[in-house]
Chain A
Amino acid sequence: MFHFKQLTDWIDAMLHTYLSEGWALFVEFVIVGVAMLTVYAVLALLLIWAERKVCAFFQCRLGPTRVGPFGMFQSVADMIKILLKEIIILNHVDHRLFRLAGFLVIIASLCTFGAIPFDKGLHAIDFNIGVFYLLAVSSLGVVGILLAGWSSNSKYTMIGAMRSGAQLISYELSCGLSLMTIVILSGTMQLSQIVEMQSTGWFIFKGGIPALIAFVVYLIAGHAETNRGPFDLPESESELTAGYHTEYSGIQFGFFYLAEYLNMFIIAAIASTMFLGGWMPLHVSGWDGFNQVMDSIPPVIWFFGKTFCCVFLALWVRWSFPRLRIDQLLKLEWKILMPISFLNIVLMAIWVLLLN
């Protein structure tokens, strides 16, 4: 059975035989960095294309059809266009913060991206406090959004940024709490171990009702974290034209755009890692034949399959629901999701006690 760990271990051994310790590490860093950026960019393009196709499907349209088969290279063409576009720097903005904001957003999402276990051994960093790290790093993005809104020196962006701040910080709580429920169940914060522990059954099945509740809460809160409809208040185009990134152009806007799509992927990836077994195939204890068939599917496919199912769910919700109003948005979090999450943690603790 092929695992990426074999490949990465082989590369590691190779480099160490030819290079000294320091150089080997350096080369590895470069390889990891390049690989991550490439996957990041390719995934973003894929997601943009997928969103356009899925959205078109929901809206009785065709979506992109001209560039390549099924319009697959449309987003590549769009990327080239956005790279060539002029970056308009306005006079009245705070230049340093204005330029910094886009990078902060994209760095936050890249850092999160690095911690996701795509396969056994296929992740850039594997902390023993992986979940904690994920939560910490992903919430850095809000700083970028706030800075973008503030430094643009425009009323629309300012309102967008304030909304975004209120929204992200609120939903961070439910997000964190629902992940904590799984941490209670697994007893570890290391993502690779969490996946390993699901070899006998995904946590959503193992954890019973509390895990199911946590999964639903996480999907809602996570969806809100990505600033996408029905939670797209920070950039609600019918009210604030484009919200916090109204004044951005060219690739600077592209940063926000990329980060938005990747955040959607990251949220889905975390959901599949924590609840749906990550790259672990579906196993049913006792059905050995079935388990073998499932094992023959490569883990990377399992991971992306589960993740894209979650992404599809997010797209589905986005294209069928109207937007919430700011007071309804906060009410949903503080009066509904958070109490449920707290209760759910207690439930999960009881569940774990009963199980042992």
Chain B
Amino acid sequence: MITAENLQSLLPFSTVERKDSVLTLTVPAENLQEAATSLKNNGLDYLRDIVGIDYGESLGIILSLTPTKEPKTIVMLKTSASNRENPRLASVEDLWLSAKLYEREVHDFFGIVFEGNTDMRRLFLRQDWKGFPLRKDYDANPKLNPVPTENENLEDLENLPKISVNAEESFEKQHFVFEKEEYVVNFGPQHPATHGVLHLRVSLEGETIKKIDPNFGYIHRGIEKISEIYTYPQILHLTDRLDYLSGTINRHAVCLAVEHGLELEVPERANYIRTIIDELTRIASHLLGWGCMCMDMGAITAFVYGMRDREKIMDIFEETCGGRLMANHSTIGGVMSDIHPNFQRKIREFIPYMRKMLKEHHLLFTNNPIARGRMKGVGYLSGEDAISLGATGPVGRASGWSNDTRKIEPYAAYSKVDFREVLREGGMTFDRYIIRLDEIEESLKIIEQLVDNIPEGNYAAKTKAIIKLPEGEYFQRVENARGEFCVFIDSRGEKYPYRIHFRSPSMTLVNVLKHITPGTKIADLIMLGGSLDYVIPCIDR
């Protein structure tokens, strides 16, 4: 059991606070490594995210940790570097596989150098970018960082600065991502199979992949930065643009976080509608993911079938929410509008239709000998690696990691429905493929239980015209179609958040891709990308 007392005795130098299920540990910067190591050794094996935050006089990071044995518990490990000019913190790269990427993100936006991290390139911004955008004293003058007008080669990406823990001076350029004689192929940023503007540099040996290096940031919009000057209802609209395929679920997360902070009681009717819409979104997203994966393997007809069935859901959304892709339906305190008179009837028609079509999809693609041959024995992700990489969602569940937030911490109407968390032990591409189709079945079950029982009443609670969140830190997690989507809000009692951070499940999935592709073929890279089903705007948020 992880309790406040346990942690206090384990880490005597820390201060422990408890708020609901969240334990906050504050440790001095020099004890970070020690604290992280002992937490890892005490079963906190899932590093959810590293959030950077500018406290004014110091720059802080928050490591969000969870033991997979007690998934309800959340431990926030806080520390801060007091030197703003040259902030340095110890890296936890060797403890969690996911840490390297998270630290790069914090480094990019806050300029904190993680000593011991072997890859301290910037993650989203250009390598020559001046300033660190999420610091409060950032100078956004466009003259500082002019738009480049000349063609550039990728030389600057080749250099991988290595930082040794003992060295006085930083940035020793010691080794390269790729050797000079390697055959490196660029996949993306404009490529039909990267599902968005992702740039993968792939080192090949014939058809076999030796190594890949993902490169993000081509469509980074700075949503976290923009949100700091937006009010909470305005921020909601940006969440749909993160992972646009599970937009309603992301929006739901922010609504829940703000409602939690305001201690607002959401009407039961709104909870039911939100849950139904979320599950419809999940089905639509899985259908698209399924179709895209099939298309990545060359079966274009399967893609069209996926889109055809998704269209039915889009039609339901259009009537009730007004939008198709960006449903914009949840709002603080409830939902924007009541359901359309056709809503329930159309869903009742959709459920048997979808069940029938699922059979067809299995017939067309799952049982196809070529498809089976392609997916069998490729892209193994072990359960341990899945946890260490933070691969939540269907990908983690395909490796046997039970991580469904809907089960762990039921929100909205999930506590009232009976459904199964689909788990598979294989960890192969085929498991990741089939788990999505099985989850569609479970989502249909959830909708079936809710659609006829939507209670009467208001669809939204009354809120004040200007929503000010009380001072404090708020954390909310939901299960979106790709995994655990989290919102972290640091409020100073204003109508704007002081800092808002979104945990992107897709970013870890690209990390998984990097982890499982070496040794596979080019065709497998594309298929594995499809099986992980990442969405780039969620990474480049």
On A, residues with C-beta under 8 Å from B are: 55, 58-61, 155-156, 159, 163, 229-230, 232-233, 236-241, 319-328
Are A322 and B304 within 8 A (Cβ)?
no
CB distance from A339 to the nearest CB of B (A): 19
A-B contact sample (19 more), CB < 8 A, given A322-B294, A323-B370, A328-B373: A59-B301, A59-B304, A60-B304, A60-B308, A61-B304, A159-B204, A236-B298, A236-B523, A238-B296, A241-B192, A320-B299, A320-B364, A321-B370, A322-B298, A322-B299, A323-B297, A323-B299, A323-B523, A326-B521
Are A229 and B298 within 8 A (Cβ)?
yes
Majority secondary structure, B binding face: helix
Known: A155-B183, A326-B523. A320 touches B298 (CB 8 A): no
B49 located at the interface, meaning its Cβ lies under 8 Å from any Cβ of chain A in the complex? no
Are A238 and B365 within 8 A (Cβ)?
no
Known: A61-B304, A229-B298. A322 touches B374 (CB 8 A): yes
Known: A237-B192, A241-B191, A328-B374. A58 touches B301 (CB 8 A): yes
B540 located at the interface, meaning its Cβ lies under 8 Å from any Cβ of chain A in the complex? no
Known: A236-B523, A239-B523. A319 touches B298 (CB 8 A): no
CA distance A239 to B194 in the complex (A): 9
Q: Which of B53-109 contact A (CB under 8 A)?
A: none
Are B192 and A238 within 8 A (Cβ)?
yes
Are B298 and A327 within 8 A (Cβ)?
no
CB distance from A191 to the nearest CB of B (A): 33
**Residues in A whose Cβ lies below 8 Å from that of B301:** 55, 58-59, 319-320
CB distance from A52 to the nearest CB of B (A): 13
- Listed residue (B191, B298, B365) with the most chain A CB atoms within 10 angstroms of its CB: B298
Contact residue among A163, A233, A238, A324 (Cβ-Cβ distance under 8 Å from B295)? A238
Q: Which of B304-359 contact A (CB under 8 A)?
A: 304-305, 308
Q: Which residue of A lies closest to B206 (CB)?
A: A162
Are B374 and A230 within 8 A (Cβ)?
no
B471 located at the interface, meaning its Cβ lies under 8 Å from any Cβ of chain A in the complex? no
Known: A229-B298, A230-B298. A325 touches B183 (CB 8 A): no
Top 8 A-B pairs, shortest CB-CB distance:
A323-B298, A322-B299, A322-B297, A59-B304, A238-B193, A325-B523, A322-B298, A155-B185
Are B207 and A322 within 8 A (Cβ)?
no
**Residues in B whose Cβ lies below 8 Å from that of A236:** 298, 523
**Residues in A whose Cβ lies below 8 Å from that of B365:** 322
CA distance A237 to B526 in the complex (A): 11
CA distance A333 to B475 in the complex (A): 57
Are B522 and A159 within 8 A (Cβ)?
yes
CB distance from A128 to the nearest CB of B (A): 40
**Residues in B whose Cβ lies below 8 Å from that of A239:** 193, 522-523, 525-526
Contact residue among A60, A155, A319, A322 (Cβ-Cβ distance under 8 Å from B370)? A322
Q: Which residue of A lies closest to B525 (CB)?
A: A239
CB distance from B40 to the nearest CB of A (A): 38
Are B371 and A322 within 8 A (Cβ)?
yes
B300 located at the interface, meaning its Cβ lies under 8 Å from any Cβ of chain A in the complex? yes
**Residues in B whose Cβ lies below 8 Å from that of A159:** 185, 204, 207, 522
Q: Which residue of B lies closest to A240 (CB)?
A: B522
B37 located at the interface, meaning its Cβ lies under 8 Å from any Cβ of chain A in the complex? no
**Residues in B whose Cβ lies below 8 Å from that of A60:** 304-305, 308
**Residues in A whose Cβ lies below 8 Å from that of B374:** 322, 324-325, 328
- Listed residue (A155, A237, A319, A321) with the most chain B CB atoms within 10 angstroms of its CB: A321
Known: A60-B304, A238-B526, A239-B526. A325 touches B299 (CB 8 A): no
CA distance A323 to B466 in the complex (A): 55
B38 located at the interface, meaning its Cβ lies under 8 Å from any Cβ of chain A in the complex? no
Contacts A/B (CB < 8 Å), 29 sampled: A59-B300, A59-B304, A59-B305, A60-B305, A156-B185, A159-B522, A163-B207, A230-B370, A232-B298, A236-B298, A238-B297, A239-B193, A239-B522, A239-B525, A239-B526, A241-B191, A319-B300, A320-B299, A322-B294, A322-B297, A322-B370, A322-B371, A322-B374, A323-B370, A323-B523, A326-B521, A327-B207, A328-B370, A328-B373
Q: Mark B370-400, 1 if CB is under 8 A from A, else 0.
A: 1101100000000000000000000000000
B524 located at the interface, meaning its Cβ lies under 8 Å from any Cβ of chain A in the complex? yes
**Residues in A whose Cβ lies below 8 Å from that of B525:** 239
Q: Which residue of B lies closest to A320 (CB)?
A: B301
**Residues in A whose Cβ lies below 8 Å from that of B193:** 238-239
**Residues in B whose Cβ lies below 8 Å from that of A237:** 192
Q: Mark B43-54, 1 if CB is under 8 A from A, else 0.
A: 000000000000
CA distance A355 to B92 in the complex (A): 79
**Residues in B whose Cβ lies below 8 Å from that of A324:** 370, 373-374
CA distance A60 to B364 in the complex (A): 14
Are A327 and B521 within 8 A (Cβ)?
yes
**Residues in B whose Cβ lies below 8 Å from that of A61:** 304
Q: Mark B123-141, 1 if CB is under 8 A from A, else 0.
A: 0000000000000000000
Q: Which residue of A lies closest to B304 (CB)?
A: A59
CA distance A260 to B207 in the complex (A): 24
CB distance from B245 to the nearest CB of A (A): 19
Q: Which of B168-183 contact A (CB under 8 A)?
A: 183
CA distance A323 to B368 in the complex (A): 11
**Residues in B whose Cβ lies below 8 Å from that of A232:** 298
- Listed residue (A230, A238, A323) with the most chain B CB atoms within 10 angstroms of its CB: A238
CA distance A55 to B304 in the complex (A): 11
**Residues in B whose Cβ lies below 8 Å from that of A240:** 522
CB distance from A309 to the nearest CB of B (A): 21
Known: A59-B304, A155-B185, A239-B522. A322 touches B368 (CB 8 A): yes
CA distance A163 to B192 in the complex (A): 19
